[in-house]
Structure 1
Amino acid sequence: MSSGSSFFITTPIFYVNDVPHIGHAYTEVAADVLARWHRQSGDDTWLLTGTDEHGQKILRTATANGVTPQEWSDKLVREAWLPLLETIDVANDDFIRTTEERHEKNVQKFLQKLYDAGHIYAGEFEALYCVGCEEFKPESEIVTGTGELVGVKVCAIHSKPLELLQEKNYFFRMSDFQERLLTLYETRPDFVQPPSARNEVIAFVQQGLKDLSISRSSFDWGIPIPWDNTHVTYVWFDALLNYVTAVGYGENEEEFHRRWPANHIVGKDILRFHAVIWPAMLMAAEIEVPRHVFGHGWLLVGGEKMSKSKLTGIAPSEITDTFGSDAFRYYFMRAVSFGQDGSFSWEDLNARYHAELANGFGNLASRVLAMNSRYYDGTTPKPGEITDAEREIHAVVAAAATEADASVEAFHVHEALAHIWTIVDALNGYITDQEPWVLAKNDDTRERLGTVLYTATEGLRALAVLLSPVIPLATEKLWAALNAEPVLGSLASQNLRAAGVWGQLPPGTPVSVLEALFPRIESAE
């Protein structure tokens, strides 16, 4: 992707039937890191997130709590979902709610277009439905219950009894798009990522696609079908359309053309909706399909997917209150291979916080700036003649910047961080080898001391830029301590794709002593 191109990235819109846990926050942070990276590389970037507020599950939750579905949605968005974005420092450009007029009226335009083109018909329907998934379940996801539910058909994901629904519904002719979808996966192998997700989607579509029931008449909490107001739109058909209604579909063609197509980051449990149903809907409406659909893995706690019903959901604030938002963001982007399942444990978080953030990066930054203060009256020294040791640092920084950018292009955030961390490790090794505290004892090695400390300080400049999408608070503090803004501009204005170019911080720049970026935590769980 060349600099200056459009990069529209989305998270799923999250159900407001409950409060967020770290699985939701993980998706938000991943999308935010990708957006920050592209934004800071000069791409025309737009990060969309939001909430999904229609459907039977919301209606039942609201009723159980003695309020209307709209009151319930408003409360959850205000008290839980918007605060989450602040808790984990997500810099989203838009937040869409499916109860907003800009969404509802343009969903109806989309439906009418498909109806007029003959892609929708009325039919009778009977099938097993999971309210938790808001989905009629395919045979592969229907299992026989155990324990109290022996002999009962249950959802393989939620382990809850399925409901037999019998309705006259409207159907989307999804079966018509089977071959076009298979051609899409074949001709654009990176459309669904990672490869394991792509293979799963292809296998599903090859089994044969059925037409999709897209309306409900047994309850009224949803967007009315425009030609038949006794029906409301199936919640998934409504929800998927947020990705286009948020960027002007139906009312602002210029904005829509500027942003679309999108890159979707989704959990693997909703991959099929995004990689099968969604592109088929777009094909029917003669709209370009998304650029990429990336299905990430689950966060596991004690070997199980997190779930509120099983009490394994951990609130993000439980982590950020102790470790801070930067550590939350760093940990989940580094410890989990993006695209695969990852296990969360307090022990691993605590170990990485201290080994990698506090001792590895934070200690490096404070040591280098302290030596500049001590030996050079608080300025960045002038380098003298360089040796192979410095050339190696230059090469490590240049390679890390290039390889991290390539990893981000491929949605491999964990690999990007591993590349950037080679700079941390190289600089720590370099300072140990060069022993600036020894060089400082002798006037004959004064020039060499300047070279060593300039090299380490300029390395910190590159690290501040490269790590800013992941740990924005700590890198802002480092940027301020380097006093880089007066000479180089704000940290947010630094082009990430040029971060590896050596020698950007001018010698003589005043620096200040840096407080510990990641203070030790004595009583972490």
Structure 2
Amino acid sequence: MSSCHKSSYITTPIYYVNDVAHIGHAYTTIIADTLARYSRLIGHNTFFLTGTDEHGQKIEESAKKRGRDTKEYADEISATFRTLWDEFDISYDKFIRTTDEYHKKGVQKAFTTMHENGDIYKDTYKGHYCISCETFFPELQLVDGEFCPDCGKSTNIVEEESYFFRLSDYEDRLLAWYRDTPDCILPRSKRNEVIRFVEGGLNDLSVTRTSFDWGVKIPESFDDPKHVMYVWLDALMNYVTALGYGDDEKNMEFWPARVHLIGKDILRFHAIYWPAFLMSLDLPLPKHIGAHGWWTRNGEKMSKSKGNVVNPKEVADAYGLENFRYFMLREVPFGGDGDFSQKALIDRINSDLGNDLGNLLNRLIGMSGKYFEGRVECDLVEKYYKAELDEVQISLDKLEPMLFELQLHRYLEELWRPLTVANRAIDRYQPWTMIKEGKTEETMALNGLIATILAKVSLMLHAVMPKTTTIICNALGFEITPESFEKVIRNGEILVPFTTAKRDPLFPRIEGQLLVEKKPAEEPKKSEDKKKEVKKTEGIALIGIDQFFATSLKIGTIVKAEEVKKSKKLLLLQVDIGEDKPRQVVAGIKEWYSPDDLVGTQACLVANLKPAKLMGMKSEGMLLAAKDADGLSLIRPEKPKTIGTPIS
């Protein structure tokens, strides 16, 4: 998707007020916030919507269990979502609640319009109803003839008078939409799931209830006061009522939505019911519906009973909100399930953010301060380092389509390549050597190259880490605005000369977990399990995942190698894993490798071994290798990877 769109309407789902916000809610909202911030940065007229879904039988029953008034209960839970998003600096333009009067008015208008168009009729419905999912299921879809196929809870047979939406009339139009707009549902594999479901046949949809009262009443003109809107008709309409549908429609210019972001569990409602409703109302269909996966914790499904639900506020407070944002978007491909662990989060902070990004700014400040009293000029960068600029531009050109196609992990992975170019240029050209050789102009141009790359990366990273990138760009002498984006990214203009100053590291290294993790509740062990805590399979002692993750494995580049005199086995290596200086490693591999074989190659390093001494020399790690009858081989990445990349 290109930047030719001049307006962008970005939405999260409206979150159901039956519980407090968890990491899944935070994930969706951070993605939406990133898209909205980027849209504003490229000059789009942007509207970002989030909010809460507050009607339905489940909410009514939850309030009764707590002895609470239903509206007061909904007010309280809704406020926790809004407060969290404000604390997370989420840049929403509107926070909608389905209890808002303007929303009710818009939903009633939609109901009337659908009826006038012949898409709503009255009948009696009998079926298996899941209160938790607010959904009827055909008996064929039930588990063991009773249980909900989505949440696993018991269903009840409900028979009641209902108004129906003629969903079955829209099968062909929906299938044509999926066929003609292959990226209407992202990732595309989810679109295939929806197509198969619709091809199986659609039944008309019950859109009102009489068994409870907590919802939007159907219009008075129907003279049927016992009916309230089915929660999904009510909830889905929020995307247009927030823009004024049925009331003051001045913001309807933002419709259709550029991206609806949702969890995969509500894909059917958004990809089938919602476009059918819009077709009935003669409104344009959304450009994209993006369905993301679920999050586990340390490989286990989260649940209250296990006590392993991730509180996003606790994580952000402990590790930094912007670090948390980066981790969430980088760690997992959009659409797939993701796993949260403190180990993985710490690795991302120390490696990607600390070693690659933060350390590059430190190197620029250090070099410019040492050689030019802090002065940085960029006018000669292209003269001396055009190859590096061209390589950076190749990555930059790929980024925007990835973002709006929701390939956020690939976006960040590609965005990190210019940082690799910058760090590699310093190691390759060695400014400390150039300055000694009197190559002052080339050295200044190298500093300018580093500043240029940092500026471009920061502008493209701004939507993900707005405060961090603001700090970096202030250090580079400019502000992040749509105008500076246009100049630096679109037009390739150079930075004006500026002067750097020493500053604290952006990403102080984290050495251990900052949150105390509760141990999940364990099922009672069987008697035979108690006999041996450590089982063995084919002679191999099994370990737990926590024991494995206690080992820090990283990709390093061997920047120097020499033989150890008086030793037949040892080589003395300097291995760069993205820290302030290379690690010294004494390795017993001289029989299979010469120093010339190793310099400039990559290897896998155990990075958290206690330092040891071999022949009086300090060794700060160990290289991974495999040895058989044919000799020894170092374990290496299949393709070159960024130094410091964690192995997991």
TM exceeding 0.5: yes
2:244 aligns to what? Answer: 248
Work out whether 1:182 is the aligned partner of 2:175: yes
Please report how far the alpha carbon of residue 510 of structure 1 lies from its aligned counterpart in structure 2 after TM superposition. Answer: 2.3
Aligned match of 1:211: 204
SS at structure 2 position matched to 1:495: helix
In the other structure, the counterpart of 1:266 is: 262
TM-score relative to the length of structure 2: 0.75
Give the match for residue 513 of structure 1: 502
Alignment gaps of 5+ in structure 2: 515-648
Q: 2:11 matched to which residue of 1?
A: 10
- 2:320 & 2:486 partners in 1: Cα distance? 24
CA contact (8 A) 1:401 1:500 kept: no
Call closer, same or farther: CA 1:256–1:433 in 2, change over 3 Å: same
Would you say the 8 A contact 1:54–1:99 is kept in 2? yes
Tell me which amino acid in the other structure corresponds to 1:465. Answer: L
Structure holding more helix per residue? 1
Give the drift of 1:462: 1.0
- CA distance in 2 between partners of 1:344 and 1:523 (Å): 16
| Mapped partners of 2:253, 2:355: distance in 1 | 47
Structure-2 change in CA distance of 1:309 and 1:19 (3 Å): farther
Q: Supply the AA of the counterpart residue of 1:515.
A: D
Quick check: 1:483–1:512 contact (8 Å CA) kept in 2? no
Which residue type is aligned with residue 179 of structure 1?
Answer: D
Question: Aligned ranges for residues 311-390 of structure 1 at < 5 Å?
Answer: 311-381=307-377, 384=380, 390=385
Q: Choose the corresponding residue for 1:524, options 486, 500, 513.
A: 513
Pair 1:159 & 2:148 matched: no
Q: Assess if the C-alpha contact under 8 Å between 1:300 and 1:341 holds in 2.
A: yes
Aligned mates of 1:383, 1:497 — CA distance in 2: 15
For residue 13 of structure 2, give the secondary structure of its aligned residue in structure 1.
Answer: strand
1:423 to 407, 418, 421: 418
Moved more, 129-138 or 226-235: 129-138
Tell me which amino acid in the other structure corresponds to 1:113.
T
1:21, 1:316 within 8 Å by CA — same for their partners in 2? Answer: yes
How big is each residue's C-alpha offset from its partner over 1:374-412, in whole Å with a ceiling of 9 and x where there is no partner? 322222135547566x22221132222211112113221
- 1:475 maps onto 2:476 in alignment: no
| SS of equivalent to 1:229 | coil
Q: Distance in 2 between matches of 1:373 and 1:277?
A: 61
Q: Which runs of no fewer than 5 residues in structure 1 stay unpaired?
A: 145-151
Whichever residue aligns with residue 89 of structure 1, its letter is: D
Deviates more, 1:177-186 or 1:123-132: 123-132
Partner Cα distance (2:139, 2:445) in 1? 67
Which amino acid in the other structure matches residue 232 of structure 2? W
Q: Distance in 1 between matches of 2:426 and 2:273?
A: 55
Shift of 1:235: 0.7
Distance in 1 between residues matched to 2:500 and 2:255, nearest whole Å:
41
Match of 2:634 in 1: none
Identical pairs, percent: 40
| Structure 1 residues 175-197: Cα deviation after superposition (integer angstroms, max 9, x where no partner) | 11111111111111111221211
Structure 2 distance, partners of 1:4, 1:134, is 36
Deviations for 1:465-505, whole angstroms, at most 9, x for unmatched residues? 111011111111111222213xxxx4465336952654421
Provide the aligned length of Structure 1 versus Structure 2.
510
In 1, the alpha carbon distance for the partners of 2:129 and 2:15 equals 20
Indicate the larger mover: 301-310 or 425-434.
301-310
* 2:72 partner amino acid: E
Residue 445 of structure 1: how far off its partner (Å): 2.0
Asked if 2 retains the 8 angstrom alpha-carbon contact of 1:40 and 1:494, the reply is no
| Partners of 1:154 and 1:514 in 2: CA distance | 59
Question: Any idea what SS the aligned residue of 2:14 has?
Answer: strand
* Greater Cα offset, 5-14 or 309-318: 309-318
Aligned to 2:572: none
Question: CA separation of 1:382/1:334 partners in 2, compared to 1, >3 Å: closer, same or farther?
Answer: closer
For the 8 Å contact 2:395–2:417, the answer to whether it is kept is: yes
Aligned residue number for residue 89 of structure 1: 89
Partner of 1:499: 489
Question: Which amino acid in structure 1 is aligned with residue 442 of structure 2?
Answer: R
Kept after mapping to 1: 8 A contact 2:34/2:463: yes
C-alpha distance in 2, partners of 1:311/1:121? 46
Q: Which amino acid aligns with 1:128?
A: H
- Cα distance 1:122–1:304, how it changes in 2: closer, same or farther (>3 A)? farther
Which shows bigger deviation, 475-484 or 367-376? 367-376
CA contact (8 A) 1:52 1:97 kept: yes
SS in 1 for 2:500: coil
**Which letter does structure 2 place at the counterpart of 1:74?**
D
Match of 2:401 among 388, 397, 406: 406
| Structure of higher RCO (CA pairs closer than 8 Å, 6+ residues apart) | 1
Q: What SS does structure 2 have at the residue aligned with 1:45? A: strand
What corresponds to 1:465 in structure 2? 459
**Structure 1 CA distance for aligned equivalents of residues 93 and 234 of structure 2:** 21
Question: What is the RMSD of the two structures over their aligned residues, measured on CA atoms?
Answer: 2.0
Aligned residue type for 1:47: F
Q: What secondary structure is seen at the aligned counterpart in 2 of 1:224?
A: coil
TM superposition score normalised by structure 1: 0.92
- Please give the alpha-carbon distance, in whole angstroms, between the structure 1 residues aligned to 2:235 and 2:71: 16
The answer to whether the 8 A contact 1:405-1:497 is kept is no
Q: Flag the 1:494–1:135 CA change in 2: closer, same or farther, 3 A.
A: farther
Deviation string for 1:25-57 (max 9, x for gaps)? Answer: 001111111111122111222111110011111
**Contact 1:46 1:92 (8 Å CA) reproduced:** yes
User: Please, which moves more after superposition, 498-507 or 83-92?
Assistant: 498-507
Larger deviation, residues 362-371 vs 491-500: 491-500
Look up the match of 1:53: 54
